[in-house]
Amino acid sequence: MCSPFALFALLPVQITDTLYNAFFRRNSVFVSTVFVGAFAFSLGFDTAINRVWDNWNKGKQWKDIRAKYVAPAGGADE
């Protein structure tokens, strides 16, 4: 039983019923939940992927090496 549904199988009937009644019963609620979930998912996904990218390219991006080339404060232009 290493399937992810094992988690569901562990849930008592009351919880799955509550889940059903809360989200799945009415299509309007179901669809809205899906859209809100998609919004949250894409936000989280983008954040996570960007973090991975920045971590992978640490020390190579302009924002990492800007301090070496741009004099901090003072603003003595160019």
Partner 1 sequence: MALPIRAASFKPYNLAVTTRSLPSGVPIAPGISLYAKGYGDHGHGHGHGGASRSDAAPSWASGMRLGGSKFESKTVMNAPASRGVHTSSKAPLPSPSPYAVPDWSHYKTENTSTNRAISYFMVGTMGVLGASAAKSTITDFLATMAASADVLALAKVEVSMSSIPLAKNVIIKWRGKPVFIRHRTEDEIKEARSVDIKTLRDPQTDEDRVKRPEWLVMLGVCTHLGCVPIGESGDYGGWFCPCHGSHYDISGRARKGPAPLNLEIPPYDFDDPDDKIVVG
Contact residues toward partner 1 (CB under 8 A) are: 5, 8-9, 11, 13, 16-17, 19-20, 23-24, 30-31, 33-35, 37-39, 41-42, 45, 75, 77
Say how far apart CA 3 and CA 68 lie, in whole Å.
51
Q: Tell me whether residue 14 or residue 58 sits nearer to partner 1 (CB atom).
A: 14
Say how far apart CA 11 and CA 4 lie, in whole Å.
12
Kindly state the smallest distance separating residue 19's Cβ from partner 1, in Å.
Answer: 5
Q: Tell me whether residue 8 or residue 53 sits nearer to partner 1 (CB atom).
A: 8
Say how far apart CA 65 and CA 22 lie, in whole Å.
50
Judge contact between 19 and 26, C-beta under 8 A: no
Q: Tell me whether residue 30 or residue 53 sits nearer to partner 1 (CB atom).
A: 30
